[in-house]
């Protein structure tokens, strides 16, 4: 009997130690590793080394890439998927909608809020459970409420991805459990996050450290799984993630002194690595980058070019002088690494032959702005005025003038 008891005990221990390969961002199962958050003032100006497999840092004002490593390679995304789930839900439902939890939702594996079959919960509370506790059950409940099924909801997710130009992203589920057809890139995920953060409710949810929701008729306080939120200056979101295929993932948004960035870290081996990579990158960017006003460089280059252009264009079927217009940028401030050398330069290309067939507003060229040979932006050059077609009288007098020279 003692031997049988020992065998049963041993089997139970082995069962508990076997990893379950289905968890999407189950923070309850992760090691609660301590991490250090270094202040920017103590950091070197050298680019920090990073250990995660795929990384990107973008500036939200210009969508400029400030740092990247394998940023355009397709990878699993785990529960960072829920960024898309949340924004699609916000755009296709009401926060006051009441959702009845299905058996499928209540029985999903991985990280959950703990929904119970047939319980009722508001869409608002589901979204907090989705983004703070990374509830896979919340993800399915949301999908079924909006689209009737996970499969139909994924169609909405992919439609939104296409609308945003996320060419290397595909969604199969609203929660992010591993699937070979469920993938993104750090760059696509950063662009999606920037879009989602423009929704004030989304921004409020992901920046919330703790929230009290109504759970099966009782108040329940839940905490955010994002370890940087409240621990690193300026961080205001966004989402953690973990599966065995995706590794440890973290998407962060941080704002200091008007510089607003998104950091995507995917495929870290440990939670400590994803945390430290994110913190080091955030502090490095804020120590070494600042906004530089490029308007004077652009305007001078265009002015110089128009002087050249006015002496070097050709006309056909019109005698009107073409006037070039440089379109306006939404923003003339670019984040540049000012500890290095800022060397701005431009290249301008335009048509040189114009006729009455070229109508007002037609794009006739571009101005390209570079910093140390890195393209910062390109700006359309258009035709400012209409070019009238030569009339029969023009040709009549043209013949007379030239005939008299014979």
Q: What are phi and psi of 52, to 5 degrees?
A: -65, 155
- Which residue in the list 54, 105, 134, 154 is annotated as catalytic? 134
Catalytic residue list contains 147 = no
Angle between helices 82-92 and 123-131 in degrees, nearest 10: 160
Answer whether 54's CB lies under 8 Å from 266's CB.
Answer: yes
Q: Which residues contact 117 (CB under 8 A, 6 or more apart)?
A: 101, 102, 103, 105, 106, 107
- Which residue in the list 69, 82, 239, 271 is annotated as catalytic? 82
Catalytic residue list contains 209 = no
Structure tokens at 246: 């995706």
Number of H helices and number of E strands within the chain? Answer: 11, 17
Answer whether 24's CB lies under 8 Å from 177's CB.
Answer: yes
- Distance separating alpha carbons of residues 199 and 192, to the nearest angstrom: 12
Single out the residue of 176, 177, 174, 96 nearest to residue 141, CA to CA.
174
- Which residue in the list 54, 64, 79, 278 is annotated as catalytic? 79
For 402, other C-beta atoms within 10 Å of its C-beta total: 9
- Distance separating alpha carbons of residues 13 and 5, to the nearest angstrom: 12
Run of H or E including 200: helix 200-206
- Distance separating alpha carbons of residues 344 and 361, to the nearest angstrom: 28
Q: Distance of alpha carbon 68 from its chain centroid, rounded?
A: 13
Helices (H), 73-185: 82-92, 103-106, 123-131, 136-147, 150-163
For residue 238, cis peptide bond before it (omega within 30 degrees of 0): yes
Q: Which residues are catalytic?
A: 79, 82, 134
């Amino acid at each position: 009997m003692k031997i049988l008891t020992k065998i049963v005990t041993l089997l139970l221990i082995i069962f508990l130690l076997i990893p379950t390969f289905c968890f999407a961002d189950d923070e309850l199962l992760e090691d609660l590793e301590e991490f250090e958050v270094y202040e920017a003032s103590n950091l070197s100006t050298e680019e920090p080394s990073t250990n995660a497999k795929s990384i990107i840092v973008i500036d939200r004002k210009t969508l400029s890439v400030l740092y990247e490593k394998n940023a355009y390679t397709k990878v699993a995304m785990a529960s960072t998927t829920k960024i898309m789930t949340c924004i699609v839900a916000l755009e296709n439902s009401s926060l006051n909608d009441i959702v009845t939890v299905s058996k499928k939702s209540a029985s999903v594996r991985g990280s959950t809020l703990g929904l119970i079959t047939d319980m009722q919960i508001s869409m608002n509370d589901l979204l907090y459970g989705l983004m703070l506790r990374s509830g896979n059950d919340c993800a399915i409940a949301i999908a079924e409420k909006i689209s009737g099924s996970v499969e139909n909801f994924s169609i909405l997710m992919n439609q939104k991805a296409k609308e945003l130009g996320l060419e290397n992203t595909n969604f199969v589920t609203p929660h992010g459990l591993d699937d070979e057809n469920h993938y993104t890139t750090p760059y696509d995920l950063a662009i999606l996050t920037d879009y989602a953060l423009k929704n004030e409710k989304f921004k409020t949810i992901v920046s919330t450290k703790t929230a009290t929701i109504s759970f099966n008729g009782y108040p329940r306080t839940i905490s955010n799984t994002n370890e940087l939120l409240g621990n690193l200056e300026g961080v205001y979101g966004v989402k953690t993630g973990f599966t065995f295929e995706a590794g440890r993932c973290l998407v962060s948004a941080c704002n200091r002194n008007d510089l607003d960035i998104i950091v995507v870290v995917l495929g870290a081996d440990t939670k400590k690595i994803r945390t430290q990579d994110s913190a080091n990158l955030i502090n490095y960017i804020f120590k070494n980058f600042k906004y530089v006003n490029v308007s004077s460089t652009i305007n001078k280059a265009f002015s110089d070019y128009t002087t050249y252009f006015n002496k070097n264009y050709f006309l056909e079927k019109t005698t009107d002088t073409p006037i070039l217009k440089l379109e306006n940028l939404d923003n003339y401030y670019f984040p540049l690494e000012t500890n290095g050398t800022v060397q701005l330069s431009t290249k301008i290309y335009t048509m040189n032959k114009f006729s009455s067939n070229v109508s007002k507003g037609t794009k006739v060229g571009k101005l390209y702005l570079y910093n140390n040979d890195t393209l910062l932006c390109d700006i359309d050059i258009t035709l400012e005025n209409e070019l009238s077609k030569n009339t029969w009288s023009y040709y009549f007098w043209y013949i007379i003038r030239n005939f008299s020279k014979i």
